[in-house]
Amino acid sequence: MLTSLKPKVTTIISNNAESVENRLTELCNLLRDTVDYYDWVGFYFKNGDKEELKLGPYAGEPTDHTIIPFGKGICGQVAVGNENFVVPDVAAQDNYIACSITVKAEIVVPLFKNGENIGQIDIDSNTPNPFTEEDERFLEFVNQEVSQIL
């Protein structure tokens, strides 16, 4: 199912006629519209030289958390931990920043450019425990594609 989305991801990313921002927004919309348990899909990127993340393109409800300090929340932990973070039940997490009371689970996958962790894709789900290794592999693929245009 997720694998079948890969060609569409590549098509969106390689469309040089569009700005990077528009391509990333289109990608977020594709993922949110196609995968029923992806309810909020967005990118965070390192904010210049600061030890914080800044919200980039996203699809879903607007969030107050446009800046997240490194180490804070799931996103901030991935910024320093450099590994995928799958949260089957957000209520069981101590270091978690709630964006919406409807969210039950979250997955954050770091995005590397030339080996450096420069951001991440963040997905919230209103479905409990929906993420599997298939999501991790797929989102790693998405980030590899995205890193090529950054």
Which residues lie near ligand SME (CB under 6 A)?
A: 40, 42, 63, 65, 68, 73-76, 96-97, 99, 106, 122, 124
| Residue 137, SS3 per DSSP | helix
- State the minimum distance, in angstroms, from the CB of residue 113 to ligand SME: 21
Percent helix, strand and coil across the chain, each to the nearest 5: 35, 25, 40
Q: Which is it for the CA torsion 12, 142, 121, 104, positive or negative?
A: positive
Quote the least distance from Cβ 6 to ligand SME, whole Å. 24
What token pair was written down for 92? 């069981």
Of 1, 2, 4, 21, the residue nearest 146 (C-alpha): 21
Looking at beta carbons, which residue is closest to ligand SME? Answer: 73
Report angle CA 43, 40, 46 to the nearest 5 degrees.
20
Q: Which is nearer to ligand SME, 10 or 63 (CB)?
A: 63
Q: Which is nearer to ligand SME, 9 or 68 (CB)?
A: 68
Q: Which is nearer to ligand SME, 21 or 115 (CB)?
A: 21
Q: Which is nearer to ligand SME, 26 or 124 (CB)?
A: 124
Q: How far apart are CA 59 and CA 11, in angstroms?
A: 18
- Min dist. Cβ of residue 26 to ligand SME (A): 19
Shortest Cβ 141–ligand SME spacing (Å):
21
